[in-house]
Amino acid sequence: MEEYRSETREILKRFREERISRAECVAAMDCALLALIPHLDPANLPAVQARLAENSRYLAELDWEKQHHDALASMDHP
């Protein structure tokens, strides 16, 4: 479980730093989850669900920030 958390943090960091696209970010997080599933202890399922929700909120926040930044930038350059 800790490896999954660490991996998803790194994936989100690369996305935030614009080293990967949103689609690449989502695909990488899906792959990380798929790698976790065979080793997942059912007792950890609530933690995985919480992490998935956290990742989703974080991506939505990054999307909002990017749109907000792009909108402000477009106002600076008519």
Q: What is the pLDDT of residues 54-73, one digit of tens each?
A: 999 999 998 888 887 666 56
| pLDDT for position 76 | 64
Q: pTM for the full model?
A: 0.76
What DSSP string runs through the chain?
-HHHHHHHHHHHHHHHTTSS-HHHHHHHHHHHHHHHGGG--GGGHHHHHHHHHHHHHHHHHHHHHHHHHHHHHHHH--
> Which pLDDT value is given to residue 63?
85
Q: Is the model more confident about 66 or about 38?
A: 38
Is residue 15 within 8 Å of 25, Cβ to Cβ? Answer: yes
Supply the mean pLDDT for the chain.
Answer: 88
Per the structure, the complete domain to which residue 50 belongs is given by 2-76
Residue 27 has pLDDT above 90, yes or no: yes
Report the domain count for the chain. 1
At residue 77 the predicted structure's pLDDT band, cuts being 50, 70 and 90, is: low
